[in-house]
Amino acid sequence: MSFVQTVLGPISPNLLGRTLTHEHFQVDLEKFHCSPPTEYKEYFDQKISLETIGFVAKYPYASLENITFCDEATRSAVRKDVELYKKFGGGSIVENTSIGLKRNLEFMVDIQKTTGVNIVAGTGHYLHNHQTPDDLAMTVEEMTNLYTKEIVTGIDVENVGPVKCGFIGEVGSDYPIHDFEKRAIRATGETQEAVGCGVSFHPGPDVQAPFEIVRMYLEAGGRPDKCVMSHLDLRFMDMEELFEFATLGTYMQYDLFGVECSFFHLVPSVDMPSDAQRMKNLMLLIEDGFLEKIQISQDIHSKHRLTSFGGHGYHHIHKNIVPRLITKGLTMDQVVQIIVKNPAKWLEIKE
Q: For residues 202 and 191, what is the distance between their CA atoms, to the nearest angstrom? A: 17
Residue 63 lies in a domain: yes
Residue 4 lies in a domain: no
Residue 30 lies in a domain: yes
Residue 8 lies in a domain: no
Give 95's contacts (C-beta < 8 A, 6+ positions apart).
Answer: 23, 24, 25, 108, 119, 120, 121, 122
Query: Which of 142, 140, 141, 187 is CA-nearest to residue 168?
Result: 187
Residue 6 lies in a domain: no
Residue 7 lies in a domain: no
Residue 54 lies in a domain: yes
Residue 351: predicted pLDDT: 85
Indicate which CATH number applies to the domain containing 101. 3.20.20.140
Residue 102: predicted pLDDT: 93
The sign of the dihedral angle between the CA atoms of 281, 198, 126, 187 is: negative
Residues 189 and 214 sit within 8 Å (Cβ to Cβ):
no
What residue numbers bound the domain in which 120 lies? 14-350
Residue 2 lies in a domain: no
Domain count across the chain: 1
Q: What is the mean pLDDT for each group of 10 consecutive residues in the chain (351 residues)?
A: 97 98 96 95 94 96 96 98 98 98 97 98 98 98 98 96 97 98 98 98 97 98 98 94 97 98 92 97 97 98 98 98 97 98 98 85
Give the three-class secondary structure for 132: coil
